[in-house]
Structure 1
Amino acid sequence: MKNIRQTVFPILAMLASVVLVAGCSISTPATIVIPDEGSVGADIYRARCGSCHALPHPRRLSYAGWQVLLPVMEQRMQERGIGKFSDEERRILLTYLKEHSR
């Protein structure tokens, strides 16, 4: 039970923080340097995620955290009338985040 809390609680806490702070609002300039700048994964990450909110560095979350957060963000995108990720975008984005998460 303790091991589950040690794993799940940090992910949920980070998820809650990101969701609360990263709501779609005024676009912010893309100033953060992200890994593999110019790669297809980085381009999708910057264009699709950074168009709504400040772009967090991929190392901000573990890969498991990104797997939890991505569907939440897709739901928020749909609520705001922004198209959800295509299957290909999602695959590329998750591969990019897996390679560069903590």
Structure 2
Amino acid sequence: MSADFTLETVGHGRFAARGSIDAANAAQALAEGRRQLLAVEPVSVDLAALESADGMTLAVLVAWSSHAARAGRTLRFTNIGERLRAVAHLYAVEPFLVAGIGD
């Protein structure tokens, strides 16, 4: 069973990722991020309420970063949990999470 995932607007250019990203909802999370995150600039996504910290979650976040960079946009992640940071380090994609992409 898929956990719920939402990307909520919390202010102009500020979003909060909530819930979990898993195999059942990754495509929806990817599409939602691509749609919402390119609507304004600059963009920051607060990950404090993101419950998942695995390869699937990381793949979606890196895809958002890549999509933003190709569009010439700046995307920043805030409140990156230690577990997610460790997974990103393991996959050698930590720079996609800790730096503003598109700067």
- Verify same fold: TM over 0.5: no
Instruction: Give the structure, 1 or 2, with the largest relative contact order (CA under 8 Å, sep 6 or more).
Output: 1
Which structure dedicates a bigger proportion of its chain to helix?
1
TM-score (norm 1): 0.38
Scaled by the length of structure 2, what TM-score is found? Answer: 0.38
Considering only CA atoms, is the larger Rg found in Structure 1 or Structure 2? 1
